[in-house]
């Protein structure tokens, strides 16, 4: 993973394949400069020296080999931030005030237990780290005086067992999406959990953040796939049972789901798997409007034949996709223009692109397609065929690289996601787009706000907004938080969720009490106090230890102070 951006260090956004994109972005966002604002040179970044409390290295050395404990600057840099827009802004400038002091790499559940036991009596905090793809500040160390140890699950990625008869796989928590699918595919199985961060995110991270994959409509979110889990806490290990169902009190799996590393370390989990689907069919459609698309999704979702994948992009997002597909010139460009003219003549003036995908046995795919087709037709969906679907599938993991490309040119690009019941979908959509556009205008900027729906439920849907504009030099972070607050307030005031799948981390802390009520927050704090009495695990994330005001969000994300309940540490010798 790049230290300054998304993905493979050897890969950049393929701008040469999208010649129309930059001229379009310049016009759309009013960008008048061509000057690149690259990340600072790696060599110019100086991290503070690791602060290692007395006894820590001896204790860790007794349970881990030397190559499993690192105070190396490369590792500490890579574990300093997640991948949110403010994370990338800071890391690109070389602002890394609070790197972890150590990174440890356990290789088994037993080693995680031994690490937790070893640090229990020391002035240490532990941050569980999966793939580091978090975009709410969930893995960022804060301004603690204790030694910050990031516990990376990178070396725990094995498929431990497969029960083919019951369709269950037990997998170590550090397994990334590709590792999980490859090891299962060798045995003829698949998990089917594909978040957009699939290439880097891990099973433990998915569970800890209640992740949703792009096929969650068919297979469910990670919480629907999880059967049992092992969580190493300071008070001992919780291992839930691998049984199809239980009524033995409140569900402990649900307590681990969404715990964001604050209760302990997830070391392994048993998840529901299915045979690798032999047939697959992904197609594109154009709807005359986002409203027509929402009506189609609603009707499909309320029917008995749900596709695996439905992604509906509003007119602005569809425009961006078309721009990215526009050829530079020649016959292809001419055909592209003619196609656009033809569409407009048929009433698709500001169309919405819908991707619909099925996988399963050939008969199942055919039956569900047959059931969905008349619904799509009724709502005016124009079939674009399998090529459009396959091209979307091929390029879907390239999109996150676009943000780095735009940031190179001094642009803010971020996302805001929520979920709400069907009746609220369109009103919320209109309000959020209007509010975003108004705020851009009042900041004297040309802005872009778009939305897609990528997860649906019988009861409602997830709305995923993307917004972009020029950065305001010198005020980049405040500028960003203005939009963060705007969208979040709007979601909560319109009966929508604080977050649908990005979790709480630091970014959503100010609104947690409003989301789950003071009594709910107290209950979770009591659980934390019972499992983690010394406040070792990922302090300050997910559960605000004290009332947090909206205006604090910016500072909190930058500098999380140690909760007052933690005793002050003794002076720490450096390594």
Q: Which residues bind ligand FAD (CB under 6 A)?
A: 6, 82-83, 127-135, 138-139, 153, 173, 195-197, 201-202, 204-206, 208-209, 211-212, 260-261, 265-266, 400, 501-503, 538, 541
Beta carbons of 461 and 419 less than 8 angstroms apart: yes
Which candidate, 87, 106, 194, places its Cα nearest to that of 153? 106
Compute CA 395 distance to the chain's CA centroid, rounded to the nearest angstrom: 18
Closest to ligand FAD by CB, 212 or 566: 212
Residue whose tokens read 């966002």: 29
CA distances from 215 to 284, 344, 454 (A): 16, 32, 9
Q: Which two tokens stand for residue 390?
A: 């396959």
Judge whether 464 counts as a catalytic residue. Answer: yes
Closest to ligand FAD by CB, 204 or 436: 204
Strands 147-152 and 124-129: parallel
Give the whole-angstrom CA distance, residue 365 versus residue 374.
15
Give a three-class secondary structure readout of 533-549.
CCCCECCCCCCCCCCCC
Beta carbons of 266 and 209 less than 8 angstroms apart: no
Q: What is the DSSP string of 313-376?
A: E-HHHHHHHHHHH--SSHHHHHHHHHHHHHHHHTT-SS-EEEEEEEEESHHHHHHHHHHHHHHH
Please state the φ and ψ torsions of residue 449, each to the nearest 5 degrees. -130, 125
Closest to ligand FAD by CB, 45 or 208: 208
Handedness of CA 87, 93, 97, 102 (dihedral sign): positive
Give the whole-angstrom CA distance, residue 6 versus residue 10.
11
Compute CA 450 distance to the chain's CA centroid, rounded to the nearest angstrom: 18
Q: Which two tokens stand for residue 76?
A: 């500490």
Closest to ligand FAD by CB, 324 or 381: 324
Beta carbons of 171 and 271 less than 8 angstroms apart: yes
Which candidate, 23, 132, 5, 36, places its Cα nearest to that of 400? 5
Beta carbons of 147 and 172 less than 8 angstroms apart: no
Which position among 464, 467, 480, 483 bears the catalytic label?
A: 464
Give the whole-angstrom CA distance, residue 99 versus residue 316.
38
First-to-last C-alpha distance (Å) of the chain: 27
CA distances from 138 to 149, 263, 331, 387 (A): 14, 13, 49, 38
Fill in the DSSP letter of residue 38: P
Smallest distance, Å, CB 501 to ligand FAD? 4
| Residue numbers annotated as active site | 464
């Amino acid at each position: 993973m790049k230290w300054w951006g998304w993905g493979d260090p050897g890969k950049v956004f393929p701008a040469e394949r999208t010649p129309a994109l930059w001229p379009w972005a310049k016009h759309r966002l009013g960008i008048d400069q061509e000057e690149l604002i690259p990340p600072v040179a790696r060599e110019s970044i100086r991290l503070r020296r690791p602060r290692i409390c007395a006894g820590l290295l001896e204790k860790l050395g007794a349970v881990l080999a030397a190559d499993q404990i690192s105070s190396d600057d490369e590792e500490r840099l890579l574990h300093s931030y997640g991948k949110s827009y403010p994370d990338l802004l800071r890391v690109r400038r070389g602002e890394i005030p609070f790197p972890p002091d150590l990174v440890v790499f356990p290789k088994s559940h037993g080693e995680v237990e031994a690490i937790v036991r070893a640090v229990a009596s020391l002035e240490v905090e532990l941050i569980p780290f999966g793939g580091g793809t978090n975009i709410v500040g969930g893995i960022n160390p804060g301004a603690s005086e204790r030694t910050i140890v990031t516990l990376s699950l990178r070396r725990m990625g094995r498929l431990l067992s497969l029960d083919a008869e019951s369709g269950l796989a037990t997998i170590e928590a550090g397994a990334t999406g590709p590792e999980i699918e490859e090891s299962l595919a060798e045995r003829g199985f698949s998990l089917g959990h594909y978040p957009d961060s699939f290439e880097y995110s891990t099973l433990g991270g998915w569970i800890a953040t209640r992740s949703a994959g792009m096929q969650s409509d068919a297979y469910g979110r990670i919480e629907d796939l999880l059967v049992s889990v092992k969580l190493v806490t300071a008070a001992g290990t919780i291992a839930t049972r691998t049984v199809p169902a239980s009524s033995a009190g409140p569900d402990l799996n649900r307590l681990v789901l969404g715990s964001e590393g604050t209760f302990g370390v997830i070391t392994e989990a048993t998840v529901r798997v299915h045979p690798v689907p032999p047939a697959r069919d992904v197609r594109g459609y154009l709807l005359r409007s986002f409203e027509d698309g929402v009506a189609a999704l609603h009707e499909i979702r309320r029917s008995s034949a749900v596709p695996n994948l439905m992604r509906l992009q509003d007119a602005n997002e569809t425009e961006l996709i078309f721009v990215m597909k526009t050829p530079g010139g020649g016959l292809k460009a001419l055909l592209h223009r003619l196609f656009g003219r033809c569409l407009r003549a048929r009433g698709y003036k500001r169309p919405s692109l819908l991707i619909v995908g099925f996988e399963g046995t050939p008969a199942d795919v055919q039956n569900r397609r047959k059931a969905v087709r008349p619904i799509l037709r009724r709502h005016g969906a124009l079939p674009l065929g399998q090529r459009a679907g396959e091209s979307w599938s091929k390029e879907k993991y390239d999109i996150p690289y676009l943000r780095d490309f735009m940031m190179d040119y001094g642009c803010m690009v971020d996302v805001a996601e929520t979920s709400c019941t069907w009746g609220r979908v369109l009103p919320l959509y209109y309000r959020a787009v209007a509010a975003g556009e108004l705020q851009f205008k009042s900041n004297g900027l040309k802005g872009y706000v778009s939305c897609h729906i990528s997860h649906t439920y019988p009861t409602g849907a997830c709305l995923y907004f993307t917004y972009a504009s020029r950065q305001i030099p010198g005020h980049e972070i405040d500028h960003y938080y203005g939009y963060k607050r705007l969208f979040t307030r709007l979601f909560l005031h319109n009966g929508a969720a604080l977050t649908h799948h990005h979790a709480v981390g630091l970014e959503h802390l100010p609104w947690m009490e409003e989301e789950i009520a003071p009594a709910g927050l107290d209950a979770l704090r009591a659980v934390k106090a019972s499992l983690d009495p010394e406040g070792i695990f990922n302090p300050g994330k997910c559960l605000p230890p004290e009332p947090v005001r909206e205006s604090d969000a910016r500072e909190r994300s930058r500098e999380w102070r140690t909760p007052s309940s933690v005793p002050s540490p003794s002076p720490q010798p450096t390594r």
